[in-house]
Amino acid sequence: MKGVVFNLLEEAVTRSFGPEIWDDLVDDAEASGAYTSLGNYSDDEIVQLVAAASVKLDLSAPEVLRWFGENAMPILKERYGVLFEGHPSARNFILSVNSIIHPEVRKLYAGASCPFFHFKEGEDGAVLMSYQSSRKMCDLAHGFVKGASKLFCEEVNIHHHSCMNHGAERCLMELKWRH
Ligand code: HEM
């Protein structure tokens, strides 16, 4: 996992809970705590940090990932504002993840292994989003979708029809926006 993701987690935790809590998480996770944005770090290290946050914040690990995704989005908007420009809706923004967002990320962070999503447009604006990654971080995607919708002042309902964390071959999420 690229260091930029660890940097984002640190920023999100520090903004919400303060730097001491981040230091505690690093200690509890026995993580290094020093990440350069372009560096590559073991996926296990983020899993350990999420596990430490789960204990500290009294949330399940999936809830921590969702919290992280949701709270990372405003920070991403500050840093990569151009990726948010020109989109009339959160739906439109999310649908650009394979064609624009992650390709840009790969240019900025050589070697980034961003997931590819399959999208199917459902009835009345709903989107079926399927995800497959050895990292099984569908809850991070869930949080990103939630956080992006908030930034567009929209409310989204996300239903997980199937999940890799529950033995499915891929995750399938249905996204429905209420305007
Ligand atoms: C400005 C917007 C975004 C930026 C800058 C961004 C950036 C990144 C970066 C740097 C990684 C790590 C890649 C690596 O370490 O190899 C990543 C992973 C990921 N991204 Fe994005 N992303 C954005 C939007 C989104 C959106 C909208 C979604 C979901 C719909 C998404 C879903 C994910 C997931 C689930 C991962 C975890 C890696 C995996 O599952 O294998 N991202 N993203």
**∠ CA(67), CA(72), CA(77), 5° rounding?**
145
- What is the mean predicted confidence (pLDDT) over 147-170? 98
> Ligand 1 atom closest to Cα of 108?
10
**117 and 162 in a common domain:** yes
Q: Which domain holds residue 81?
A: 67-178
For ligand 1, atom 39, which residue shows the shortest CA distance? 115
**141 and 96 in a common domain:** yes
> Ligand 1 atom closest to Cα of 112?
16
> Ligand 1 atom closest to Cα of 77?
1
Q: Is 173 in the pocket of ligand 1 (CB under 6 A)?
A: no
Q: How many other β-carbons are positioned within 10 Å of the β-carbon of residue 86?
A: 10
**54 and 71 in a common domain:** no
* Ligand 1 centroid from CA 169, angstroms: 20
**74 and 12 in a common domain:** no
**pTM greater than 0.75:** yes
Query: Sheet of 127-131: strands edge to edge?
Result: 117-121, 127-131, 171-178, 155-162
Residues 6 or more apart from 33 whose CB is under 8 A from it? Answer: 23, 26
Tell me which long-range contacts 164-170 makes (C-beta under 8 A, separation of at least 24): 164/131, 164/132, 164/133, 164/136, 164/138, 165/62, 165/136, 165/138, 165/139, 169/132, 170/130, 170/131, 170/132
**120 and 34 in a common domain:** no
**Residue where one domain finishes, among candidates 12, 34, 58:** 58
**155 and 110 in a common domain:** yes
**152 and 90 in a common domain:** yes
pLDDT confidence of residue 123: 85
**137 and 71 in a common domain:** yes
Q: Is 114 in the pocket of ligand 1 (CB under 6 A)?
A: yes
pLDDT confidence of residue 138: 98
Q: What is the pLDDT of residues 110-149, one digit of tens each?
A: 999 999 999 999 888 999 999 999 999 999 999 999 999 9
**140 and 87 in a common domain:** yes
**20 and 93 in a common domain:** no
**98 and 164 in a common domain:** yes
CATH of the domain at 169: 3.90.1520.10
**114 and 37 in a common domain:** no
**Residue where one domain finishes, among candidates 39, 58, 77:** 58
Number of domains in the chain: 2
Does the pLDDT of residue 166 top 80, yes or no? yes
The alpha carbon dihedral of 37, 173, 65, 45 has a sign of negative
Q: Is 144 in the pocket of ligand 1 (CB under 6 A)?
A: yes
Q: What is the pLDDT of residues 42-78, one digit of tens each?
A: 999 999 999 999 999 999 999 999 999 999 999 999 9
Rounded CA gap, 71 and 178, in Å?
Answer: 20
